[in-house]
Structures are given as structure tokens and as C-alpha cells.
Amino acid sequence: MLTVDVGAHYRPTDGDHDPGVYRVVGATDGATLLRVGDADGRRVHTGAVCRVTASALRTEFEPAADPDAGLSPTGALRDAAQGLYWSVRRLLP
């Protein structure tokens, strides 16, 4: 019996699932996975959710690193620039 921890991260090992990093957001009978990272492990906001059985999680996925772990200086600068852009854009007609 595979115990699945909510918040754990997995990456698919086969071609049946979109490549990326998935976070476990539900674990009752199997696992509900939310795609939170792209194939390179960078954070993405897709809203893509899939449901897999415990057996599929064990055979079709492997543990992965959390894409939110660590601070990326370039990502922080990009986010700040986007925030500034949208703040100014909001004021323009």
C-alpha cells in the first residue's frame, strides 16, 4: 500500500501524462495531482489537474523537487517588472 502525502511532488516517467512537476493536492483513494512545474522544473500556473490511482502513481511517476524551493534572482526581477507594468497599465485608458 502506497501512502501519499499531500504536498509531495512527482514527475511522470512515461508519455501518458504531460511532462512537468505535479503536486499532490488530494490523497484519499489514489491521488489528485496539480501540475505546478514545467518539464524543466520551473514553476508554472496551468490549473491542470489529473487523478491517478495509487498503482499508477507508483509505476508512472517518480518523486520530484518542489519548483517553489529556492529563490531565483532573475525570476524575482521578472516578477517585479511585470508587477510594475501592470500597475502602470491599469492607470492608462
Write out pLDDT tens, residues 50-79. Answer: 999 988 988 999 999 888 776 667 767 877
In a domain, 14, yes or no: yes
Give which of 63, 49, 66, 44 is closest to 4, Cα–Cα: 63
Confidence check: pLDDT of 93 > 70: no
56 assigned to some structural domain: yes
Residue 17 counted as domain residue: yes
Query: What's the pLDDT band for 2 if we cut at 50, 70, 90?
Result: low
Domain limits for position 45? 9-68
The tally of domains found in the chain comes to: 1
Confidence band, pLDDT 50/70/90 cuts, at residue 9? very high
